[in-house]
Structure 1
Amino acid sequence: MRLNALPFCLRPRRPGGAFVLAALISLGAVIGLEREACAGSAMLAPAREAAASEPLQITLLYTSDNAGKPLTLVVPPTLRLMLTSNDLAPQPIELIREPGIPDTLRLRPGEYRKVSFSAPWPAFARGMVRLDPVGFDASPALVTINRGANQLAIAKAERAETDASTPAQVAAVSARIKPAGEPLAASGDTLTTNRDAFARISYFEPMYVGVGHNGDTTARFQFSFKYRVMMPDDLRSKRFLDNLYFAYTQTSIWDLSKASKPFRDTSYQPQVFYDVADTGWHSPWFSRMGMMAGIGHESNGKAGADSRSINIAFVRPTWEFGDLEANHLSISPKLYYYIEKSDNRDIADYRGYMDLLVKYGSPNGWQLATTLRKGMKSWYGSVDAQLTYPLARLIGSAWGGYVWLGYFNGYGEDILDYNRRQHTVVRIGYSISR
């Protein structure tokens, strides 16, 4: 698959002009050309998952679009990339041209030639890395490096799946080579809502801002990240330390009706937990099961009568039903025990001991996510629903994020008012992740 095709036409006024252009684009140049001589070049996308024991390899495709005479191209001896790995600064990588390739290639009209450049993977490169070409205009590539014992088999499966041209071939490759229940690494940004992406820093809970009015005009916004404490050699490891995360979420209610526009309340929520998106447990009843378990803190940072604070231990299984690439259902109950709740001893009367998250939608379309709480006393509880739709599908592919529509009804939209019934409020806004 081609990352970025770079067609170019040369009309040199003197023989040396082609060499100047070659230095600028670093992909090769045309020498000794007639007028209107045209060449195209492209960087082919590397496999999404690579074995650490095999070299990093980038392939350039040179083509001759000249309808007249043969074309002569200069091929650079090296190719330069910037490699970004997790939270480390970008590092330069020099790739060497494959042996046996001459410094110049002569292509007949309509002919093409692939040239590969390679270098060993650096020792510091782990998990998902980003490869940015230097000196020529091509899209960056995202590659997941596997350092586990089965890295060669997984990389082979990934290459075979990339080369497959029909759905039947993809299925045959997956059944023959890829271990059952082991999804290939998903590509995406370093900060991603996909829990399968092997990034050290990623989104955690939804991140959004929305404004609504019911009696008062209020805004609600939230940001949330998680950090993978240790990047494992085997990206599919289920070991405790290999899947240990620290996360931080902050949610604020902003009162826009008052003159000073104060924050009514803010919840600060650090957590430490174990998390795997796919436990490997499979059943005809569900497509995938994930598991999260850990300890968390929530407080509003206030003193005196307005102080609110809880510490909990929790476990959160997640079951997903249907095609994960299309509309599907996700059910995720978060069961918790209050380790400490001295600032609000009756909070279980209003929150209970479980948050039930139900999602329905598709990764590239609309999604409805609803969190239900039922308190231990009377009919206390709450409904918190969020409907999102990708902006890219509304106004163009260059846009990121989602249109966000939020609904809340019940007790405790913020921890300060955990025991007070809020007005039903609908807000509209923008979401970075969901």
Structure 2
Amino acid sequence: MRFYASLARLAPRTSPQNRHAILRISRASLLSTLVALAAFATCFGEAHATVAMLQPARVAAANEPLQITLLYSADDAQALTVTVPPTIRVTVNGAEQSPQPLELQREPGVPDTLHLQPGQFRKVRYSTPWPQSARGEVRIDPVGFDASPALVAINRGPQQDAVAQAEQAESQASTPAQAAAMAAAVDGPAGDAMSPPGDSLSTTGRGVLSHVSYYEPMYFAVGHNGDTNARLQLSFKYRILMPDDLRSKAFLDNLYFAYTQTSIWDLSADSRPFRDTTYSPQLFYYVPDTGWHSPFFTRMGFAAGIAHESNGKAGTDSHSINMPFIRPTWEFGDLTGNHLTVSPKIYYYLGTSNNPDIADYRGYVDLLVKYGSPDGWQLATTLRKGTKHWYGSVDSQFTYPLARLLGSKWGGYIWVGYFNGYGEDLLDYNNRQHWMARIGYSIAR
């Protein structure tokens, strides 16, 4: 009341009607202020729960349910009561299947509300059967709650229970030695055959579209030596069948179709034509890890198949070859860090078109030597030696992640290439390219 008396003294000459109006306005303003202060105190004094989705095991048995674990924690200094929903929803994306919504049921015995003291947490599990259509690696996206997606490889093979149990034990291992032993039980001593840290032949691309991945490097680069030209390459491979057991070494389970297109673009000539383009479809068997072990190498991969190369031209400019090939690949050192890769591609010519002497300039072996790390710089060099004189070529490509130069929002790599010798394209397989250096951008390496 002293507050109102003070207001009355501030306006001694105001009429009684006006003084009553001022007091009514002041009471309303004071009430609004008190409500705002109460709301402010409530907002800053209220305890909030943190909800997180724990990462599920990377390998799951198809005959076991999909299980999602939510972690509720009281992070503030006050006790907390949390309402736990009876169901949660996620979507599952796998291979070429459209996203499939799933509803997971809360585990029995969990009450509808949890009472957490400051600093306490509680795990709540939800589960539902895997969809029958889910194959290979699938992505799990939460719906209605804030959590990161998760990737899980579904094993439908005869040993799915043993593999899933070994994977779960690995995730719960308390020491690095125990984790390494469990990893060997799942994948063999060479490491993770389910998702290798760097494909033996190229950059693997297992994801939502798990049949499709990168094959040879994909890049665009420009250089100048007398004239200005660009070199660009597109390449991918497609896994024809997705096996129930992703570790399978069976022939049909690891059969791939690949397509690579390499072009030389003349930027100095009138109308800037593509001087030559090489089209190369391939069909081959490929495993990144054969399971053969040795103290001399970390992992051995293997590929074998048939490749066709053609420049798609007619008349005397037409050149094409058919090559059955085998390609073993050995990797040395830590596959997650800097390591050496040696991969000879050995082939034979079944048929040639307007280039019967191509072996004189190209030979029968492409020797690929790479050194670098999956998340750092890498130098890859392909060497060829023709059967006559000193004919052959050197093709070197240096790549470095743009994310390390410009920040994490950037993808791909800066690409620097050097070529010297014969056979950069089919049209000029018997013409010497003294040297050409280019710089550009690479999507995959």
* Counterpart position of 1:388: 399
**Which residue type is aligned with residue 264 of structure 1?**
R
**Which residue type is aligned with residue 49 of structure 1?**
V
| Number of residue-to-residue matches in the alignment | 404
**Which residue type is aligned with residue 240 of structure 2?**
V
* Counterpart position of 2:305: 294
TM-score (norm 1): 0.87
Alignment of 1:269-348 (within 5 A): 269-348=280-359
Q: Identify which of 112, 118, 124 aligns with 2:133.
A: 124
The 3 A distance-change label for structure 1 pair 227 and 379 is same
The 3 A distance-change label for structure 1 pair 177 and 235 is closer
* C-alpha distance in structure 1 between counterparts of 2:360 and 2:376, whole Å: 37
Structure 1, unpaired ranges of 5+: 1-12, 18-31
Query: Is the deviation greater in 263-272 or in 389-398?
Result: 389-398
Poorly superposed stretches of 4+, deviation over 6 Å: 187-190
Question: C-alpha deviations, 1:175-196, integer Å up to 9, x for none?
Answer: 5676555635228999x95559
Q: Identify which of 57, 68, 74 aligns with 1:47.
A: 57
Question: C-alpha deviations, 1:340-364, integer Å up to 9, x for none?
Answer: 1023111111111111111111112
Structure 2, unpaired ranges of 5+: 1-34
* C-alpha distance in structure 1 between counterparts of 2:410 and 2:104, whole Å: 33
The 3 A distance-change label for structure 1 pair 194 and 52 is farther
8 Å Cα contact 1:218-1:256 kept in structure 2: yes
Q: Identify which of 145, 159, 165 aligns with 1:136.
A: 145
Alpha-carbon shift at residue 82 of structure 1 (Å):
1.6
Query: Is the deviation greater in 70-79 or in 241-250?
Result: 70-79
* C-alpha distance in structure 2 between counterparts of 1:61 and 1:189, whole Å: 33
**Which residue type is aligned with residue 156 of structure 1?**
Q
1:263 and 2:274 matched: yes
Q: Identify which of 103, 109, 117 aligns with 2:112.
A: 103
* Greater C-alpha radius of gyration: 2
* Counterpart position of 2:12: none
SS in 2 for 1:348: helix
1:213 and 2:224 matched: yes
* Counterpart position of 1:153: 162
* Counterpart position of 1:10: none
Larger helix fraction of residues: 2
* C-alpha distance in structure 2 between counterparts of 1:100 and 1:188, whole Å: 41
8 Å Cα contact 2:80-2:116 kept in structure 1: yes
8 Å Cα contact 2:60-2:164 kept in structure 1: yes
- C-alpha RMSD over aligned residues: 2.5
1:399 and 2:410 matched: yes
Query: Percent of counterpart pairs with the same letter?
Result: 67
* C-alpha distance in structure 2 between counterparts of 1:343 and 1:297, whole Å: 15
Alignment of 1:33-112 (within 5 A): 35-68=45-78, 70-112=79-121
Alpha-carbon shift at residue 157 of structure 1 (Å):
2.0
**Which residue type is aligned with residue 49 of structure 2?**
A
* C-alpha distance in structure 2 between counterparts of 1:188 and 1:43, whole Å: 25
8 Å Cα contact 2:219-2:443 kept in structure 1: yes
8 Å Cα contact 1:61-1:113 kept in structure 2: yes
* C-alpha distance in structure 2 between counterparts of 1:126 and 1:189, whole Å: 22
SS in 1 for 2:312: coil
